[in-house]
A = this chain, B = another copy of it.
């Protein structure tokens, strides 16, 4: 029921995702009448779907604390419940991010070894592969252990979603030197450097102007800095394309140039269109929950569904749990060595 386009966009997106991956099955949670009305226009989707009626919805104005009290009656709450009860492999929502996070955290709980979940997304780069960024806003403040856990979760996500063996992983900082930034960052650098065998290549700090150069696969930050960086990137991409459009339309000669260079502009648009990178994932929970951007169109929703399906197929959460167990085993000094220095 969420997102700017409501059920119409969500179901058109599901139909598109199904056309691309015919083995998908859907549990559609929300107002049954509205869902049935839309499903009449998507025969194949109707045949691949069950409907779960929810009498209520979470709106964009609901506070997380209010939302969690309505878990049993709202489409968002019931969709997460279906993940918890393993009726479905993943939930995809275009609704209120804060409410989705709070409900998912409460119902699903974190994976063993994970103190806090993080919101992760994939962004385009100038390199061969995209880059995973996390946390994008789930945790305003983080300690060094949170950041280390985010690094491991982000790397597992990159291995799964981007098919990268040993993701180059960096901490977002205000300088590349390892003594820069907050105490939490310095401690996280030390912990990641000290560990004997991480399932990632830790490359130290990265500054925000290099996020999309294609030199790293995972960028780790607290949710405040990550959200600032993500939005600054989104805003600037829009700023530059707006400027460009304005400058192209500033003279007849330029208008002609714009027409002729349409294929180039199209390429640019495809690369920058957030719909092609839609689907932020809450990593670290006992279940997969994907957030589709509220303004995503049906193509964007289909991408978010594809992200969710890939994470289910590749069993991302099993990978994270394994990596965390390995990390903790290697970080705990063997009992026999205690006091044996002499």
Chain A residues engaging chain B, CB cutoff 8 angstroms: 126, 137, 140-141, 172, 174, 181-182, 207-213, 223-225, 227-244, 247-248, 250-251, 253-254, 256-265, 267-268, 271-272
Contact = CB atoms under 8 A, between A and B. Distances in A.
Contact of A240 (B182, B210, B231, B241): B241
Nearest to A262: B257
Contact of A174 (B210, B227, B244): B227
Contacts of A238: 209
Nearest to A256: B260
A240 B268 contact: yes
B240 A237 contact: yes
A239 B212 contact: yes
Contact of A250 (B209, B223, B224, B267): B267
Contacts of A239: 126, 212-213, 237
Nearest to A174: B227
Nearest to A239: B212
Contacts of A250: 263-264, 267
A268 B240 CA distance: 8
21 contacts: A126-B239, A137-B174, A141-B182, A174-B223, A209-B231, A209-B234, A229-B232, A240-B272, A243-B268, A243-B271, A247-B268, A247-B271, A248-B261, A250-B267, A251-B263, A253-B260, A254-B260, A254-B261, A257-B257, A257-B258, A260-B261
As for how many copies of this chain the complex holds, the number is 2
A172 B251 contact: no
A121 to B, nearest CB: 14
A234 B239 CA distance: 12
Nearest to A97: B175
A206 to B, nearest CB: 10
A135 B188 CA distance: 24
B231 A181 contact: no
Nearest to A251: B263
Contacts of A271: 243, 247
Given A213-B235, A235-B213, A247-B267, A182 B224 contact: yes
B264 A235 contact: no
A225 B140 CA distance: 12
A122 to B, nearest CB: 15
A2 B213 CA distance: 27
Given A208-B228, A236-B237, A243-B268, 10 more contacts: A174-B228, A207-B235, A208-B230, A211-B235, A229-B229, A236-B236, A240-B240, A250-B267, A257-B262, A260-B260
A155 B341 CA distance: 61
B181 A242 contact: no
Contacts of A137: 174
A317 to B, nearest CB: 26
Q: Which 9 A-B pairs have the closest CB atoms?
A: A257-B261, A209-B235, A232-B232, A257-B260, A208-B231, A236-B236, A209-B231, A208-B232, A247-B264
Contact of A212 (B210, B223, B235, B253): B235
Nearest to A172: B228
